[in-house]
Chains A and B, each alone.
Chain A
Amino acid sequence: MAHIRAHRVLPGFGLSLGFTLAYLSLIVLVPLAAVFLKTITLTPEAFWQTVSAPRVVASYRLTFGTSLLAAAINVVFGLLLAWSLVRYRFPGKRLVDALVDLPFALPTAVAGISLTALYAKNGWLGQYLEPLGIKVAFTPLGVLVALIFIGLPFVVRTVQPVLEDLDTEIEEAAASLGAGRWQTVWRVVLPTLLPALLTGFALAFARAVGEYGSVIFIAGNLPMVSEITPLIIITKLEQYDYTGATAVAAVMLVASFVLLLTINGLQGWTDRRAARNG
């Protein structure tokens, strides 16, 4: 009976919560707050002028546009890859399964120089693409390739477990009711995977928007054409335009926060879906 209290409440709440909050504030929240505090030293007009300069707007368009496209491409091929890994037997599957996470583990700078070596005019792939009139390295297409690389595992790894847990009975039922295979997949399987696909899409998108290391090597960094927003921040920093860099950073931070909330909402949806099906 003496343990009644302990039975209800495990020890260490104060300590662990206190430590978590202190560490979180020190490392993340206070420094991030610096961005907004620095931004409000600008007048609204100056802020608007900085974040809506043509070159900056062009970089938003490139960053968000290619990130969306890369995430969309990853949804399609990530789904195919997840499907192959879960549903089919094929040689080398273990290896493929392990290597899907490569972009998580490979430093972005390494990915950047490697992709550049592949897609440059005289590179492994570039030499065949160039005669066809396809330029990848140092164009927006190069940005897209890099973003596809870093985003792929997000989709595969969110879809794969859901696909694995999917009850075969549903498909059996659909088949026994006379649905064709294609109909079953389209009407029964895909809707179940939808939350996971959207979560994977959002994760890949969020990661792509902030990506720097792999992109700068392959992008060519042409103002108005292939200059991503993180690079704008760096360029402003190099000219020691701290307020300008901070203003653009504030815009990106708000975008990331919105994305993050979306992702958390989507993940909640996926979990609820999974709980219902399980």
Chain B
Amino acid sequence: MQSGFEGWGRLLAYAVLGASYLFLMSVVALAQTSILNVSYDVSRELYKDINPAFIADWKAKTGETITVNQSHGGSSKQALSVAAGLDADVVTMNQAPDIDILVERGGYVAADWRKRLPHDATPYTTTTVFLVRKGNPKGIKDWDDLTRPGFQVILPNPKTSGNGRYTYLAAWGYALDRSKSETAARDFVAKLFANVPVLDGGGRGATTTFTQRDTGDVLVTFENEAIAIGSELGTDKFEIVYPSLSVEAAAPVAMVEKVVDKKGTRKAATAYLEFLFSPAAQEIIAGHAFRPRDEAVLRKFASRFPAIKTFSVVQAFGSWREVQAKHFADGAIYDQIIVKR
């Protein structure tokens, strides 16, 4: 019996030595041949399919084996994580400001990132649409219906997600187009947000609220997310309504210079971003209900994407910088609207 405890002390010592060793190892983890793609919330499934295709392509071209890791969350939150030290080699966001902020905060991304890839470095677009319950019981046709009193609109937090920001801008642009008056647009958006009972952090959270929690009459989200909900959860439960006018949401991508230089992954990261514009990747993109940039691929999938009248943020608002300062900065219009709610 006594000798049994002789071993205890030794066991304890080994356990502690082992634990300390493991901890130190994890601190000085060796750089692996892997790249990290930090992306927004509802692109999970897309990159899950793109990554293996890229890995195979890279292997065929260079003979090297590479790993691609993914991290997802609200677009702005993810961008700020990168600024706070999340080692992303590439960022694939859903709105330009989330990449611009990485230029401003510490020069993580080159200032001319838009010029480095085709289509202003946006491999695909999508647009903001409505998802309603089957049969459209509330008869929702356009943005006006969303401002009806007593109506529940589900959308993600514009402060933390690009998805929510596009919705805000789409509603604003629609009202402006109708009334030609800034005041009327502001009132319209304020009325819409007064109907929002939950503000989830990211697009996926909003989807869960609407579909799983049965909250709300309409979900305003990206077209790709709305189509994905149909195929994931059954087209018999929901249907998509296209508004008369919406915003074109182009998804920008960029390389994080500081990180690729540190990790020595510049070549792979560049290849990864260029791969997104290749016909193979564009097919995968279209397969996930994003509108591809490649004309041939877009024609092939035309039946999936009904024609919809859209405006771009630059057309309607001048630039993202102006949008940011006027609408989403601390104390700007969005804050004023949401506090009064």
Residues on A lying within 8 angstroms of B by beta carbon are 54, 120-122, 137-138, 220-223, 225, 235, 238-240
Given contacts A238-B74, A238-B77, contact A121 B214 (CB under 8 A): yes
Given contacts A221-B198, A221-B200, A223-B199, contact A240 B84 (CB under 8 A): yes
Q: Using an 8 Å CB-CB cutoff, how does the interface string of B60-87 with A read, 1 for contact, 0 for none?
A: 0000000000000110110010011000
Q: Is the interface of B mostly helix, strand, loop or mixed?
A: loop
- What number of residue pairs across chains A and B have CB atoms under 8 A from each other? 41
Q: Using an 8 Å CB-CB cutoff, how does the interface string of B180-216 with A read, 1 for contact, 0 for none?
A: 0000000000000000011111000000010011110
Taking CB as reference atom, which chain A residue is nearest B205? A221
Beyond A220-B215, A240-B84, 15 extra complex contacts between A and B, CB < 8 Å: A120-B212, A120-B213, A121-B213, A121-B214, A138-B213, A220-B213, A221-B198, A221-B200, A222-B197, A225-B197, A238-B73, A238-B77, A239-B77, A239-B159, A240-B77
Pair A122/B214 contact, Cβ less than 8 Å: yes
CB contacts (< 8 Å) of B157 on chain A: these are 235
Tell yes or no: B125 within 8 A of A by CB: no
CB contacts (< 8 Å) of B213 on chain A: these are 120-121, 137-138, 220
CB contacts (< 8 Å) of A138 on chain B: these are 198, 209, 213, 215
Q: With A and B bound together, what is the CA distance between A80 and B160 in angstroms?
A: 46
Taking CB as reference atom, which chain A residue is nearest B80? A240
A-B contact pairs, 6 of them (CB 8 A): A120-B213, A221-B198, A222-B198, A222-B199, A238-B80, A240-B80
Q: Which of A121, A137, A221, A238 interacts with B160 by CB under 8 Å?
A: A238
Q: Which of B198, B201, B339 interacts with A235 by CB under 8 Å?
A: B201
Q: How many residues of B contact A (CB 8 A)?
A: 21
Q: With A and B bound together, what is the CA distance between A164 and B18 in angstroms?
A: 42
CB contacts (< 8 Å) of A223 on chain B: these are 199
What is the CB-to-nearest-CB distance from A66 to chain B, in angstroms, rounded to a whole number? 18
What is the CB-to-nearest-CB distance from B80 to chain A, in angstroms, rounded to a whole number? 4
CB contacts (< 8 Å) of A121 on chain B: these are 213-214
Q: With A and B bound together, what is the CA distance between A138 and B208 in angstroms?
A: 12
Q: Using an 8 Å CB-CB cutoff, how does the interface string of B198-240 with A read, 1 for contact, 0 for none?
A: 1111000000010011110000000000000000000000000
Pair B160/A239 contact, Cβ less than 8 Å: yes
Q: With A and B bound together, what is the CA distance between A223 and B209 in angstroms?
A: 14
Pair A238/B215 contact, Cβ less than 8 Å: no
Pair A220/B209 contact, Cβ less than 8 Å: yes
Q: With A and B bound together, what is the CA distance between A239 and B199 in angstroms?
A: 14
CB contacts (< 8 Å) of B197 on chain A: these are 222, 225
Taking CB as reference atom, which chain B residue is nearest A54? B339
CB contacts (< 8 Å) of B80 on chain A: these are 238-240
CB contacts (< 8 Å) of B201 on chain A: these are 235, 238
Q: With A and B bound together, what is the CA distance between A222 and B197 in angstroms?
A: 6
Interface residues of B in 280-297 (CB under 8 A from A): none
| Top 4 A-B pairs, shortest CB-CB distance | A240-B80, A238-B77, A121-B214, A222-B198
Taking CB as reference atom, which chain B residue is nearest A225? B197
CB contacts (< 8 Å) of A122 on chain B: these are 214
What is the CB-to-nearest-CB distance from A247 to chain B, in angstroms, rounded to a whole number? 15
Taking CB as reference atom, which chain A residue is nearest B200? A221
CB contacts (< 8 Å) of A225 on chain B: these are 197
Could you say which of A121, A221, A225, A240 has the most chain B C-beta atoms within 10 Å of its C-beta? A240
CB contacts (< 8 Å) of A222 on chain B: these are 197-199
Q: With A and B bound together, what is the CA distance between A225 and B199 in angstroms?
A: 12
CB contacts (< 8 Å) of B83 on chain A: these are 240
Could you say which of A54, A138, A225 has the most chain B C-beta atoms within 10 Å of its C-beta? A138
